[in-house]
Amino acid sequence: MKILVCISNVPDTTSKINFTEGDTKFDTNGVQFVINPNDEFGLTRAMWFKEKQGAAVHVVTVGGAQTEPTIRKALAIGADEAIRVNAEPTDGFFVAKQLAEVVKNGGYDLVIAGRESIDYNGGMVPGMLATLLDMNFVNTCIGLEIDGNNATAMREIDGGKEKISTTLPLVIGGQKGLVQESDLRIPNMRGIMMARQKALNVVEPVDAPQPTQDQKFEKPAPKGAVKLVDADNVGELVNLLHNEAKVI
């Protein structure tokens, strides 16, 4: 089995978000970039398939040279090879088209992406990729087993979960649950050393339209001060929620 894990290079979850150039760009100044958490759960599940079922695992990102430390980390965790499509990922459909080209050329059976990136939150790349290639697709995937050509997946739905049966080739939009938080791996020194020897192939993008454009960003309006209610006067909270906030 040949697996491709799609990695998005995103600001660390603790990052303060600011915008620059007249609020038209995300301000990367002082921001630490990491593997998108939803992708990291998928990468870790791919490592399981590699170790238990002998799968080959490649990772891909669409991004400039500044994303290479993130993709090297994926190699240090255990991926065999990496591909970087040398383009700025400014639109979900554009990214899906780039990934479709990589999947076609690489002949992958299983593509694991995250359900969404935690920066632009588009959540569209996995489904678009699957549709472009006519591969099966399961989103918000919280469990995945592969047996030969058959796949059994768990999908998180609103208020529960759904067991799904399908076949390879398959694209999944994964999230926590594919593996647990405690299963995530921190690269060790040997992994980091080995990652330096592994191939990181840079490919140029294919032409693709960008049907959406972010024109301007803004930050949420600053929050007013909290209204404190005395712990001995809980009835006052009920009163405020009913008469002032009008939510009960």
- For another protein, the closer CB: 17 or 202: 17
Q: Is 186 in the site for another protein (CB under 8 A)?
A: no
- Given candidates 17, 193, 202, 206, which one binds another protein under the rule CB under 8 A? 17
- Given candidates 42, 78, 89, 126, which one binds another protein under the rule CB under 8 A? 126
Q: Is 48 in the site for another protein (CB under 8 A)?
A: no
- For another protein, the closer CB: 192 or 229: 229
The contacts of residue 80 (CB under 8 Å, 6+ apart) are 50, 56, 57, 58, 198
Rounded to whole angstroms, how far apart are CA atoms 206 and 208?
6
- Given candidates 6, 37, 112, 113, which one binds another protein under the rule CB under 8 A? 37
Closest contact distance (angstroms) between CB of 68 and another protein is 23
Rounded to whole angstroms, how far apart are CA atoms 46 and 57?
7
Residue 11 and residue 17 in contact, taking contact as beta carbons nearer than 8 Å? yes
- Reading the block at residue 187, the tokens are 């690269």
- Given candidates 30, 121, 186, 197, which one binds another protein under the rule CB under 8 A? 121
Q: Is 167 in the site for another protein (CB under 8 A)?
A: yes
Rounded to whole angstroms, how far apart are CA atoms 85 and 194?
22
